[in-house]
């Protein structure tokens, strides 16, 4: 729900209207890096976001960008005002003066109409957050350039305010991305080809007319980079073919058999762990008091069933039997969970569920560690199909941990309430 308050987020003042500068301001009104594009991008990302916390972040900032649009639009309208009545000023920009009546419209400074093509929306939260950080950086540069060309003190103050908020938003998006705990280059769920991902192709070689030369730096040298010299020339007649070949398909690492043996052992351990959870989760769901926790545990039971099937498939791909190995670690966690549920019968709803969430989180972190280890070994063995299946399960475990944290937050407050207060979580 949106509600318009008849007050600008920042009160603008224009002492000396400048129609040409007003035209420049339209870049931040209807341009690719402008406030409308930002408002739409963040709001639509928010509508698509399944993560309640980060959804709130996107909607908060998307709404603020609409407020910034109102500030920029007001500034532009005040600067363009002479186009309504002064012939010489109107002649400078007929599109605004004649077609638009001297007011703002959804165009950029060159008269090109705003388009949804400006928006960067992928549906992958970490990818979208990176796009948002870049969008805020671009917008800040546009504001800097507008400030450089601005002659009106009041307008400069407003632009300084808007420019500063771009940094605020950039920081919020960066921290939201960091809080997801994903490695910087972990994009999507399908693992890159091992070996190939670390090769740098020297595809721009020789010396240019202006003295350009091949250079080396942290972007193409040192660990883990493997420098591939002019790959386009390697197969030409007469070429020196002593260079490193492109690793289109990674070769098995040394000691692959030993690593695969460890991986199979890890997978069988995980298989037994997940099968124990198939028995434990219904009991935990029954013991949960709040609807949110019951739903979360029920959904994770369905995920666990799929994870068992993935583990069976991984073992099949590796050419071995889907035989479980007793997992003592999970057995201990399940036993601890049984104690928590027994003790919870004597507690109020909120404390009982908080204790149950604690037990569930210990299970999730145990599984996250196991899946991460197995996935990394599959990558080293150049087993992308196995790595992809394990990455899917790892993502589900990480997501379950985040959801448990979110369910716990309102319970913390509820646990502090007097026992006479009805828990409505």
Which pLDDT score, from 0 to 100, does residue 44 have? 97
Q: According to the annotation, is 338 in a ligand binding site? A: no
324 in helix, strand or coil? coil
Class of domain 19-179: mainly alpha
% of residues, the chain, pLDDT over 70: 92
Q: How confident is the model at residue 228 (pLDDT cuts 50, 70, 90)?
A: confident
Q: DSSP letters along 253-278, please?
A: PTTHHHHHHHHHHHHHHHHHHHHHHH
**What's the average model confidence in pLDDT over 300-328?**
94
Provide the phi-psi class of 254: left if phi over 0, else alpha when psi is between -120 and 50, else beta: beta
Q: How confident is the model at residue 255 (pLDDT cuts 50, 70, 90)?
A: low
CATH, domain range 256-415: 1.20.1260.10
Which pLDDT score, from 0 to 100, does residue 328 have? 94
Tell me the C-alpha distance between 321 and 312, whole Å: 8
The domain locations on the chain are 19-179, 256-415
Q: Using an 8 Å Cβ cutoff, are 267 and 314 in contact? A: yes
Which pLDDT score, from 0 to 100, does residue 257 have? 85
Q: In the 8-state DSSP scheme, what is residue 206?
A: S
Q: Using an 8 Å Cβ cutoff, are 274 and 308 in contact? A: yes
Q: Which residue has the tokens 């009106």?
A: 152
Which pLDDT score, from 0 to 100, does residue 150 have? 96
- Helix, strand, coil percentages for the chain (3-state, nearest 5): 65, 0, 35
Q: According to the annotation, is 68 in a ligand binding site? A: yes
Burial of 193 (0-12, 13-18, 19+ CB in 10 A): middle
List all residues 6 or more positions away from 196 whose beta carbon is below 8 Å from its beta carbon: 246, 247, 248, 250
Tell me the C-alpha distance between 135 and 161, whole Å: 17
* Paired residues of 199 in beta bridges: 226
Cα-Cα-Cα-Cα torsion 202, 207, 211, 212, nearest 10 degrees, comes to -10
Q: According to the annotation, is 56 in a ligand binding site? A: yes
Tell me the C-alpha distance between 18 and 20, whole Å: 6
Strand pairing of 199-202 and 226-229? Answer: parallel
CB atoms within 10 A of CB 286: 10
Q: How confident is the model at residue 422 (pLDDT cuts 50, 70, 90)?
A: very low
* Paired residues of 226 in beta bridges: 199
Q: How confident is the model at residue 409 (pLDDT cuts 50, 70, 90)?
A: confident
Q: Using an 8 Å Cβ cutoff, are 18 and 97 in contact? A: no
Which contacts qualify for 366-369: CB closer than 8 Å, 24 or more apart? 366/273, 366/329, 366/330, 366/333, 367/270, 367/273, 367/274, 367/397, 368/394, 368/397, 368/398, 368/401
Query: What is each CA distance from 102 to 14, 133, 229, in whole angstroms?
Result: 16, 34, 58
Which pLDDT score, from 0 to 100, does residue 98 have? 66
Q: According to the annotation, is 166 in a ligand binding site? A: no
Query: Does residue 132 have a pLDDT over 90?
Result: yes
Query: Does residue 423 have a pLDDT over 50?
Result: no
Q: In the 8-state DSSP scheme, what is residue 112?
A: P
- Indicate the range of 32-36, 185-189, 238-242 predicted with least confidence: 238-242
Q: Is the peptide bond before 224 cis (omega within 30 degrees of 0)?
A: yes
Query: Does residue 302 have a pLDDT over 60?
Result: yes
**What's the average model confidence in pLDDT over 12-33?**
93
Task: For residue 274, give the nearest of 243, 307, 245 by alpha carbon.
Answer: 307
**What's the average model confidence in pLDDT over 7-28?**
93
Is the model more confident about 102 or about 306? 306
- Identity of the highest mean pLDDT range in 141-155, 242-256, 343-357: 141-155
Q: In the 8-state DSSP scheme, what is residue 96?
A: I
Does 19-179 match 256-415 in CATH topology?
Answer: yes
Tell me the C-alpha distance between 350 and 213, whole Å: 66
Q: According to the annotation, is 35 in a ligand binding site? A: yes
Query: Does residue 316 have a pLDDT over 60?
Result: yes
Chain-centroid distance of CA 200 in Å reads 26
Tell me the C-alpha distance between 245 and 241, whole Å: 9
Query: Does residue 249 have a pLDDT over 80?
Result: no
Which pLDDT score, from 0 to 100, does residue 424 have? 47
Average pLDDT of the residues of the chain: 89
Tell me the C-alpha distance between 255 and 101, whole Å: 75
Model confidence over 175-191: pLDDT tens digits? Answer: 999 999 888 888 887 77
Residue 359: both structure tokens together: 């037990």
Residue 389: both structure tokens together: 């299946």
Which pLDDT score, from 0 to 100, does residue 410 have? 87
134 in helix, strand or coil? helix
Which pLDDT score, from 0 to 100, does residue 386 have? 95
Which pLDDT score, from 0 to 100, does residue 161 have? 97
Q: How confident is the model at residue 243 (pLDDT cuts 50, 70, 90)?
A: low
Q: How confident is the model at residue 236 (pLDDT cuts 50, 70, 90)?
A: low
Is the model more confident about 130 or about 105? 130
Chain-centroid distance of CA 270 in Å reads 28
Q: Using an 8 Å Cβ cutoff, are 136 and 41 in contact? A: no
Which pLDDT score, from 0 to 100, does residue 413 have? 74
- Indicate the range of 97-101, 156-160, 234-238, 303-307 predicted with least confidence: 234-238
Which pLDDT score, from 0 to 100, does residue 13 have? 95
Model confidence over 326-351: pLDDT tens digits? Answer: 999 999 999 999 999 999 999 988 89
List all residues 6 or more positions away from 121 whose beta carbon is below 8 Å from its beta carbon: 41, 44, 45, 48, 128
């Amino acid at each position: 729900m949106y509600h318009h308050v008849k007050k600008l987020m920042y009160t603008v003042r224009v002492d000396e209207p400048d129609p040409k500068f007003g035209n420049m301001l339209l870049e931040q009104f209807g341009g690719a890096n402008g406030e409308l594009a930002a408002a739409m991008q963040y709001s639509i990302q928010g509508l698509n976001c399944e993560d309640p916390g980060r959804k709130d972040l996107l909607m908060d900032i998307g709404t603020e960008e609409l407020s910034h649009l109102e500030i920029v639009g007001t500034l532009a309208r005040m600067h363009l005002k002479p186009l309504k009545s002064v012939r010489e000023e109107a002649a400078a920009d007929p599109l605004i003066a004649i077609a638009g009546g001297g007011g703002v419209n959804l165009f950029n400074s060159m008269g090109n109409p705003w388009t949804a093509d400006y928006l960067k929306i992928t549906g992958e939260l970490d990818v979208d957050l990176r796009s948002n950080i870049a969008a805020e950086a671009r917008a800040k540069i546009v504001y800097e350039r507008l400030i450089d060309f601005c002659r009106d003190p009041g307008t400069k103050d407003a632009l300084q305010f808007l420019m500063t908020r771009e940094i605020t938003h950039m920081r919020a998006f960066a921290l939201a991305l960091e809080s997801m705990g994903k490695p910087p280059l972990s994009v999507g769920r399908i693992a890159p080809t091992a070996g190939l991902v670390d090769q740098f192709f020297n595809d721009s070689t020789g010396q240019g007319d202006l003295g350009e030369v091949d250079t080396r730096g942290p972007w193409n040298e040192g660990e883990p980079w493997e420098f591939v010299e002019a790959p386009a020339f390697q197969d030409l007649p007469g070429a020196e073919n002593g260079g490193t070949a492109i690793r289109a398909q990674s070769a098995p690492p040394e000691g692959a058999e030993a690593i695969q043996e460890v991986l199979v052992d890890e997978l069988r351990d995980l298989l037994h762990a997940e099968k124990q959870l198939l028995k434990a989760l219904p009991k935990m769901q029954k013991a949960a008091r709040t609807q949110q926790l019951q739903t979360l545990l029920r959904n994770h039971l369905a995920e666990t069933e799929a994870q068992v099937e993935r583990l069976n498939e991984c073992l099949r791909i590796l050419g071995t039997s889907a035989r479980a190995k007793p997992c003592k670690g999970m057995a201990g966690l399940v036993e601890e969970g049984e104690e928590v549920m027994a003790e919870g019968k004597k507690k109020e709803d909120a404390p009982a569920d908080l204790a149950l969430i604690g037990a569930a989180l210990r299970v999730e972190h145990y599984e996250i560690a196991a899946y991460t280890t197995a996935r990394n070994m599959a990558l080293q063995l150049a087993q992308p199909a196995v790595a992809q299946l394990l990455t899917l399960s790892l993502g589900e475990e990480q997501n379950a941990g985040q959801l448990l944290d979110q369910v716990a937050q309102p319970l913390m407050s509820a646990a502090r309430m007097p026992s006479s207060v009805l828990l409505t979580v």
